[in-house]
Amino acid sequence: MKRLALAALTAGMAVTAQAATIDLNINNETIRAEYDAPLPQNRLNMAVGALYHEENGSDALVGHLGLHTQEDTATYSVGVGGRIYALTGSGDFDGAAVGLGLQGSFSFQQIPQMRFGGHLYFAPQVVSFGDVDGMTDLSLRAYYQALQDVDVYLGWRKMEVDVGAGSDDLESSLNFGFVMNF
């Protein structure tokens, strides 16, 4: 499963396009990176990323590969699509899930340097495999344009993974990060 996540991450990094972003965030227990770029001659964007979480002597790696439409205006950005998640963790935990969802952000004309946004992806049991019986990936953020092509943000993420009879918050915490646009 770790090889599958690494292969998805590597394949996504091979996409070259204009208007791409690199998103990196961190807290005491988690680091997450994502590369997002439009596909050539298409209205779709592809995103590839990974999250590594370490807590109380156990760890988990979550990779994702996603496709979404994207519409951008001066005051908002919205995307709708899906993500394939590959998960592996200590304790012989492996699985995958296909989540559908949306992402976006909005800003106020009075404060153009600030914006608010996030994403929500949901994968029910019917599209979850291996040890995973479902998952939810939710993120909320407040961005500030620190440089022309760099936004810094304070975010909150809740990633819930259903395994067996119960569900567990893989992560539910604040994070700090930045998005580079190029």
The answer to whether the CB of 163 falls within 8 A of the CB of 134 is no
pLDDT value for 153: 99
What confidence category does residue 22 fall into, taking pLDDT thresholds of 50, 70 and 90?
A: very high
pLDDT value for 176: 98
Q: Where are the domains of the chain?
A: 2-181
Q: How far is CA 127 from the centre of its chain?
A: 18
In the block, which residue shows the tokens 């407040």? Answer: 142
pLDDT value for 166: 66
pLDDT value for 18: 55
In the block, which residue shows the tokens 């990974």? Answer: 50
CATH C-level class of 2-181: mainly beta
> What confidence tens digit (pLDDT) does each residue in 91-117 have?
778 999 999 999 999 999 999 899 999
pLDDT value for 57: 85
- Measured between alpha carbons, how far is residue 153 from residues 41, 52, 127, 145 in Å? 31, 19, 32, 9
Specify the higher pLDDT residue, 4 or 65: 65
Specify the higher pLDDT residue, 20 or 58: 20
> What confidence tens digit (pLDDT) does each residue in 116-147 have?
999 999 999 999 999 999 999 999 999 999 99
pLDDT mean across residues, the chain = 89
